[in-house]
Amino acid sequence: MQQEIEVKFLDAPHDEMRERLTSVGAVCEHPMRLMRRAIIDYPDRRMQTASPDGWGWVRVRDEVDKVTCTYKHIAADGKDTTYEIEFAVSSYEKAVQLFEAIGLMKHAEQETKRETWKLDDVEVVLDEWPWIPPYIEIEGSSEHALQTAAEKLGIDWSKALHGSSDRAYRIYYPRMTEEESITDAGVLTFDGGLPQWLKERQ
């Protein structure tokens, strides 16, 4: 599996980040677009259940210009190092149907907005998720490369947040437990209302 090193930085206004990215010579590869994804697992969520080795899930994502299918594994190594297998598919709906046909199920369907920039050897992503403020994510092949990019952008590395989007939600909904996930919301859309269970986690 390919190793993916990524960190998130919260409270990162996107207009300000665009100015910083432009000033250091970064290139916008994909403007902000609405994306949808399906989170796939066994009915008992065994992949998402934490173990000494970590946890994972399957994701089918419609990225507007392509559809990808990804298996993601988060290692329980203290830094939540991500490993993944990803490939393109021709149809979002058919990919989901295939997994359902072999006994897996769609546990959640989510909307996000994403804008992708290239800075040297790293990818800087401006992310928007429902019910939390916008944040950025820096992805690359080494932690040194991520630190260098953060320094160029004037970002305090000590505020780096490792792990999945659940980590971001737990910052804004501090009563969320480590066992709970944003996938528990089922449907996650920008037009949908805040679920009652998440209101109770504020």
Residues 145-170: tens digit of each pLDDT: 999 999 999 999 999 998 889 999 99
pLDDT grade for 198, boundaries at 50, 70 and 90? very high
The pTM score is 0.90
Q: How many other C-beta atoms lie within 10 A of the C-beta of residue 25?
A: 10
Predicted pLDDT at 2? 81
Q: 117: domain CATH number? A: 2.40.320.10
51: pLDDT strictly greater than 90: no
Predicted pLDDT at 80? 72
Q: In terms of pLDDT, which residue wins out, 142 or 103?
A: 103
The range of the structural domain enclosing residue 69 comes to 2-199
Predicted pLDDT at 56? 93
Domain tally, the chain: 1
198: tokens are 């998440």
Distances (CA, A) of 24 to 8, 116, 126, 127, 144: 19, 15, 16, 20, 18
Could you tell me which of 58, 66, 70 has the C-alpha nearest to residue 102? 58
Is the CB of residue 12 less than 8 Å from the CB of residue 167?
no
pLDDT grade for 4, boundaries at 50, 70 and 90? confident
